[in-house]
Each structure stands twice: as C-alpha cells, then as structure tokens.
C-alpha cells in the first residue's frame, strides 16, 4: 500500500470510510500525527502548542516519561483480562483515598458510560424514576444525557428537548430541565415532583462556574427532599484539585463520576459513592430485583489503570496544582489584556485550569446567557490562533502541566495576531 503523507490525502481517505469524515469528536479538517510534551503535529508536520490535550486527559502532556514507563512495565504482563487485576484494585484504592464521596468505585470504559450508570444507580437506590439535569449540561451520549444539552429551541422549563434522533418520548418524560445557577428553579421542581431520583450536575458546567453558595444549595435541597446529588466530575476530577470539584468547592455529592485523567490517556472511567449506595452492584446483598447489572469488556483495564495510577501519583506531588493554576491564570490574563486594550467586549469564563472566552458584555451564568454576541468573532479568533500554532477547541482551553515559558510566548504572539484579525474586520 502506498504510504500517504499529506494531510489532504488522509482527509480524503477519512471521508470515504467515516461519516462526516471524522470520529464525531473534533474538526475532521486536521489529522494529528503525534504528540510529545506540550506539542502536537499534524500529518503535514505543522507543530502546535496543545491546549486541547485530548479533551482533557493529557494533564501531564503527551508521552510523559514516568507514565510511559508504567505502561511499558505492564504491557508484557498482559493487556486485558476481563477479570480483576492488581493495577485496577490499586487505582480504586487511590481514588477512594482522594475523592470525598467515594467509599467504593466501579470501573467502566468511558465517561458517558459512567454517567449512564450513575443515573441508573440513583434510580435503583431511590426507587424513583425522574432525573433533574441542567440545560447545557453535558453528561455523555446516553438518551437521558442527550436531553437539552444544546437545544436550539428555547422552550419553557422543565420541558426536555432531545438533542439527537432516535430517542423515545418516554425518555423525555422522565427528565426535568432547569437553568444552571438558579436554586429557586430547582427548589420549585423538587417541591412539585416527589418522584425525582437524582440531580445530575457538572460542578463547573462546561466552563460556567457555580455562583457562590450554589453547589451547597443543591446539596441542601437534595438532603431536604431525599434526592441523590450526582456530580459529573469526568472533566473536573483531578483537574480542579486532587480531590476534584468536591475538594475545590467543599461540597460532597452522593455519587460522582470520573474519567479522562484517571486513565492517564487510556480509555477508563469510574463512578463512586458510599458502600450503601454501591451495594446495588452486589446481587448477593440487594437481591435480583434491586441489582444493577454492569459489565464491560475493558472495565478496569490494567494498562489504563497503570497509566492512571502514575498520573495520579505525579499530580499529588507538592506544587503541581499551584503551577497548573499559575499557567492558566497567565493564559487568561494575556488574552483578557489584549482584548481589553483593543476595546473588544469579552468575558473570561471558567476556572484557571479550564476556561475560554465569550465575546459579550453579559455575565455568563447559564446556558442561555453564555453565548457570543457575534459568533463570527469567536470563529475568526480560534482560526487565527490555530494558523499561528495554537491548537484548542472552539469553546475550551485546557491548561496543562507540560506548558513551558516558550509555549506561553508563542501563545502570546498568536493571541496578538487573533486580536488584530478581529480589529481588522
């Protein structure tokens, strides 16, 4: 077979065998060849500073030598077993030690799978069916999660709007939708509906931070109404702090889900809760009627567990989270300063470890307020950043521990070029 060397040839090949020419995750117009440290290269050899970092997992950067060593040590011992393995048990122990709400965990292969089981677990434990989620909240690809993720129609709350074809109406009937950062809306729904099993929430919803007291308010309302609180920490777990959003915000949910970082760049996720709640995975305790069946070919994969264990060990070393936040703050400030000097209305939205820009004067507190007044500015800004060596999502920038001073200087130049491009329009 002739070796294809150009990116355009790879794109053409992908368009033949992949729907819409891609994996469904990211812009199919760029084909990544490889990554090392803070950089990635496309198939034409163009080099970028990587602020996408695999959509979050590569917090240490690509090919971290200690993680590579841990993976290479495990590889000759076996790649997967569909049975308990010591690395998976060690990883479970590490998670339970680090994450406040977890007494036990169950492994799965993806964050969306973890969120799906968390919802099912809440229903099994409470005996109720309805789930309250927040408009714009992302919880994977299950039918429940695909309700009001990015609705184009602004319907009245708490009506759920499916974001995908193929979802039965019966799923929408079991979902209640509320605006993020609005405790009064949640309180009204809990008072009206006695059959709510759980509230599922991203503590940092995409990049929208919780307002002071909001997460504790949710915790208090859930306790009052005997509803379980689920924190989706697929993104925030081991990113906002070693103990995740629970540590960062000081609020402990009943159930949490984790992914991305705990697999060290390999497919692995988990859900965790108290032993009392997690007993529904044990048929010998709860019986057939209350048992939650869960299995997966690659759940607890030893290679992923080895990579995750080493990643967590490195993150736990003194000073790493302070350094991560310092890098993120530098990236926030360089962009805000340049945009402000140019008189371009904007908001930096998010946490130092994960954020982006909304081109608006408005305060971004929920899905409906967090938008660009001129989406074209965002498109041009991100296009110019990429053309000057910065690789990121159009809606997120992930800081990482691999970012160097040289990377920051390159990014500063790209930001100045992007601001000038907006000013020129």
| Residue carrying the six token digits 């605006």 | 179
Please state whether beta strands 104-108 and 269-273 pair in parallel, antiparallel, or not at all (unpaired). Answer: antiparallel
Task: Give me the sign of the Cα torsion angle 158, 164, 169, 174.
Answer: negative
Cα separation, 367 vs 350, in Å, equals 13
From the list 290, 310, 294, the residue with the least C-alpha distance to 302 is: 310
Could you tell me if 106 and 258 are in contact, meaning their C-beta atoms sit under 8 angstroms apart?
no
| Residue carrying the six token digits 């777990």 | 237
Cα separation, 57 vs 328, in Å, equals 16
Report, as residue numbers or ranges, the catalytic residues: 138, 232, 260
Cα–Cα separations (whole angstroms), residue 219 to 64, 213, 253, 272, 404: 38, 10, 7, 17, 39
Helices (H), 142-261: 169-173, 183-192, 214-225, 244-249
From the list 253, 326, 294, 259, the residue with the least C-alpha distance to 103 is: 253
């Amino acid at each position: 077979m002739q070796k294809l060397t150009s990116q355009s040839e790879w794109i053409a090949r992908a368009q033949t065998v992949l729907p819409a020419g891609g994996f469904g995750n990211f812009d199919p117009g760029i084909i990544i060849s490889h990554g090392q440290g803070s950089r990635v290269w496309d198939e034409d050899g163009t080099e970028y500073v990587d602020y996408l970092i695999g959509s979050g997992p590569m917090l240490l950067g690509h090919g971290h030598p200690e993680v590579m060593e841990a993976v290479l040590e495990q590889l000759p011992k076996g790649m997967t077993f569909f049975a308990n393995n010591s690395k998976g048990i060690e990883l479970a122990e590490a998670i339970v030690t680090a994450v406040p709400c977890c007494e036990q965990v169950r492994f799965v292969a993806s964050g969306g799978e973890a969120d799906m089981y968390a919802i099912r677990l809440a229903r099994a434990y409470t005996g109720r069916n309805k789930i309250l989620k927040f408009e714009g909240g992302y919880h994977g690809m299950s039918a429940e999660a695909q309700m009001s993720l990015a609705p184009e129609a602004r319907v009245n709350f708490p009506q759920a709007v499916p974001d995908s074809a193929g979802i039965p109406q019966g799923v929408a009937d079991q979902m209640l939708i509320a605006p993020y950062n609005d405790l009064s809306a949640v309180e009204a729904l809990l008072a009206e509906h006695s059959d709510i099993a759980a509230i599922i929430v991203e503590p940092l919803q995409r990049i929208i931070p919780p307002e002071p007291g909001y997460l504790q308010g949710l915790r208090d309302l859930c306790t009052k109404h005997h509803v379980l609180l689920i924190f989706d920490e697929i993104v925030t777990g081991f990113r906002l702090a070693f103990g995740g959003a629970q540590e960062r915000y000081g609020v402990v949910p009943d159930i949490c889900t984790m992914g991305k970082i705990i697999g060290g760049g390999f497919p692995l996720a988990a859900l965790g809760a108290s032993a009392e709640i997690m007993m529904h995975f044990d048929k010998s305790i709860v019986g057939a009627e209350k048992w939650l069946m869960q299995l997966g070919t690659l759940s607890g994969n030893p290679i992923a567990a080895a990579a995750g264990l080493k990643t967590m060990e490195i993150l736990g070393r003194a000073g790493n989270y302070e350094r991560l936040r310092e890098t993120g703050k530098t990236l926030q400030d360089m962009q805000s300063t340049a945009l402000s000097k140019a008189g371009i209305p904007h908001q930096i939205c998010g946490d130092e470890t994960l954020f982006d820009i909304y081109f608006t004067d408005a305060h971004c507190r929920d899905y409906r307020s967090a938008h660009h007044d001129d989406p074209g500015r965002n498109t041009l800004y991100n296009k110019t950043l990429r053309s000057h060596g910065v690789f990121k999502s159009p809606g997120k920038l992930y800081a990482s521990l691999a970012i160097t001073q040289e990377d920051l200087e390159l990014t500063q130049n790209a930001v100045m070029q992007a601001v000038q491009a907006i000013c020129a329009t």
